[in-house]
């Protein structure tokens, strides 16, 4: 049976970079945020978002993710409402994806809120990616062309590194690309031998 290896980390920690290293090594990787973005375009999800949040998060018929983000990251209750729409759809999509990986010993499930969503319970092992907070803030500001305040808001909606790391089987400190790759290679060796 295919093992599920959870890959998580706070915003800006570099989980996607780590996920790409696993992909390059031939390991199937499911990136939950990317799939959630695609699923948010489906007519069923759009209808649920419109019903829950109203027309103010749409520009004509197109969902404005920025407007929706401003609502949910300022209000934990609203974030919970959005998660109640998105998480079940992603969970179903992931389960279908895993069922097509029958011959593969393990896959990587990359999710920022792996613990917060409860999806860690489906994982056999968990890898956390960490980096200093200031570096993470800098990375997200550059990547998303956003403000420090918006990054901090998103960070506050996630577990901190200490809490996440304490529940993980492996921790990758993502500071330097060469050192990060070395840590990934070490974990891959363990996973392939287990």
pLDDT tens-digit map of 47-103:
999 999 999 999 988 999 889 988 988 788 998 999 999 989 999 999 999 999 988
What pairs with residue 108 in β-bridges?
Answer: 5, 29
pLDDT at 61: 85
Q: Is 8 annotated as a binding residue?
A: no
pLDDT at 154: 86
Q: Which whole-number Å values give the CA distances from 101 to 4, 105, 107, in the listed order?
A: 11, 9, 8
- For 140-194, what is each residue's pLDDT tens digit? 999 999 999 989 988 988 899 999 999 999 999 999 999 999 999 999 999 999 8
CA dihedral 182, 183, 188, 189 (to 10 degrees): 70
pLDDT at 116: 87
Assign domain 3-193 to its CATH architecture: 3-Layer(aba) Sandwich (3.40)
The rounded radius of gyration (Å) of the Cα atoms in the chain is 17
Q: Is 167 annotated as a binding residue?
A: no
pLDDT at 90: 93
- For 107-117, what is each residue's pLDDT tens digit? 999 999 899 88
Q: Is 118 annotated as a binding residue?
A: no
Q: Is 6 annotated as a binding residue?
A: no
Residue 8, phi-psi category: left (phi > 0), alpha (psi -120 to 50), beta (remainder): beta
Q: What is the pTM of this model?
A: 0.89
Q: Is 12 annotated as a binding residue?
A: yes
Q: Is 186 annotated as a binding residue?
A: no
Averaged pLDDT of the chain? 93
Whether the per-residue pLDDT at 130 is higher than 90: the answer is yes
């Amino acid at each position: 049976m295919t093992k599920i290896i959870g890959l998580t980390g706070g915003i800006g920690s570099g989980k996607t970079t780590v996920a790409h290293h696993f992909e390059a090594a031939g390991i199937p990787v499911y990136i939950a945020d990317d799939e959630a973005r695609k699923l948010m375009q489906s007519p069923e999800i759009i209808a649920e978002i419109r019903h829950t949040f109203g027309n103010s998060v749409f520009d004509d018929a197109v969902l404005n993710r920025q407007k929706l983000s401003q609502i949910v990251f300022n209000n934990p209750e609203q974030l919970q409402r959005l998660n109640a729409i998105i998480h079940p759809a992603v969970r179903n999509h992931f389960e279908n994806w895993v069922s097509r990986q029958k011959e593969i010993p393990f896959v990587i499930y990359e999710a920022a809120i792996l613990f917060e969503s409860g999806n860690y319970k489906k994982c056999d092992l968990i890898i956390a990616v960490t980096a200093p907070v200031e570096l993470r803030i800098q990375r997200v500001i550059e990547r998303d062309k956003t403000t420090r305040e918006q990054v901090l808001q998103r960070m506050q909606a996630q577990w901190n590194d200490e809490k996440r790391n304490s529940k993980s089987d492996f921790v990758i400190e993502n500071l330097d690309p060469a050192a990060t790759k070395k840590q990934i290679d070490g974990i891959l060796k363990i996973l392939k031998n287990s």
